[in-house]
Structure formats: C-alpha cells, structure tokens
Homo-oligomer: A and B are copies of this chain.
C-alpha cells in the first residue's frame, strides 16, 4: 500500500466518558490511531483545521450528531464547504429516518446507532479500512465493477456472529426496549415490551450484560426474592 499504514481518527463526542471509551476502542483496532477527541463542533472544527495545517489531515472522524453547540450534520456541511476530505462515521442515538437520509447526502460513510457493542464498532472500522484500501491504490478504476466494489465494501453490512441460540432480530428488539426504557427493567417487563417470554428476554439481556451493553442491579425492598433489573449501559451522552 502506498498509503500511510495507520488511519488517523478524531473522536467527536459530547460525553467525556463515552469519548474516552470510543477513543480506546479505536486505538485497539489494528491500523487505527486516535489522534484526538473533541467535545463540541467548535473543538472538532479547530482540531481538523490544525491537523490539516500541520500536514496531517484526519482520515476519519467518529462524529456524534448531538453536540452542545450544534448539530453534527451541520458540522459535516461546514467541513465539506471548507474542503475537508475527512471521512465521517456518524455515531448517534438519533433514529429518525430523515436524519439517516440527511447523513447520507452529507457524505457520511457509515451510520452507527448507539448503543452499540465494541465488536460492532470494530467491524465497521475494519470495513472502512477495507474500503480505504480498495481506493488507496493510486490510478484509475478499471471499470464500473471496481467502483461498485468499493461502495459495496463500505455499505454492505456484515452480520457479526452471535452465540448459538440467539438471533439478531430478537437481540435488536430487546436492546431497543432496554434503551428506550427509562430506568431499569426486570426480565419479565422487558419480555412483555419486546413481545417475547421472560425466559427469552432474560437470555438476551444476559447477552447484553456479557457484551458490556447492560448492567444488572438487584432491586430489594419487596417481600420475596429480590427482582433482578437490567439497565442499558449508555455509550451516549444524549
């Protein structure tokens, strides 16, 4: 590869704790390096300007769309207008479909919904690295196929392998229920909301605990065995 081996990443995230976590995960991915974190659009813009001026433009920006001083997509547009070429992965809890659409037109390469497992972030980064590698070769595309291939690598989703006995849609459903619940939920309550049995809900909740996306907390006070509740561990500050 003619390119610099490492991909320089800027993490833009409102919540300092989440920012730290993201930065750590990025640095752990082979070939990636976190070169900075920013907690606001202003900081992010300044960082990118400085990096570019220093001749080390940021390759990839992990961008939370919810920022204290403006919307992330607005920052995207500002960046593009200023000629910044940094690729952007939107990392956000914004689930509105119109936002997704706007993100695409603003030139976001991927759109990652919070909360996500560390493995998911890794998979996306790996995918981005492959996309980049496929276009790093200087020169010209041999044909439409090669262009299509680059797009496909970037955009096709690769199902991460789940433990036996678990299915992706159910996991999605349970995770969503847990995220949208304010406070914590018992397995039974989560089951009802997700439309599955307590047993199934518990299975997936335990998986979420295993992967670090949820935490268990017993709830005492009532007569009988304490109720075991689950709470989404928020990777977002929003």
Could you tell me which A residues sit within 8 Å of B by CB distance? 76-78, 80-81, 83, 85-88, 95-98, 100-102, 104-113, 116, 120, 135-145, 147-152, 154-157, 167-170, 172-173, 175-176, 195-197, 200, 216-218, 220-221, 226
Contacts and interface: CB of A to CB of B under 8 A. Distances in A.
Contacts of A141: 95-97, 100, 113
A135 B100 contact: yes
Given A100-B141, A135-B100, A141-B95, A157 B152 contact: yes
A46 to B, nearest CB: 19
A134 B164 CA distance: 27
A135 B95 CA distance: 11
A198 to B, nearest CB: 12
B152 A156 contact: yes
Contacts of A100: 135, 141, 147, 150
Contacts of A152: 155-157
Nearest to A84: B105
Top 6 closest pairs, chain A to chain B, by CB: A155-B155, A81-B81, A107-B107, A148-B157, A95-B140, A143-B172
A157 B153 CA distance: 11
A78 B77 contact: no
B97 A138 contact: yes
A157 B167 contact: no
A147 B107 CA distance: 15
A117 to B, nearest CB: 10
B140 A120 contact: no
B113 A144 contact: yes
A111 B143 contact: no
Contacts of A195: 220-221
Interface hub of A76, A100, A116 (most chain B Cβ within 10 A): A100
Contacts of A170: 218, 220, 226
B175 A143 contact: yes
A142 B179 CA distance: 12
A107 B102 CA distance: 9
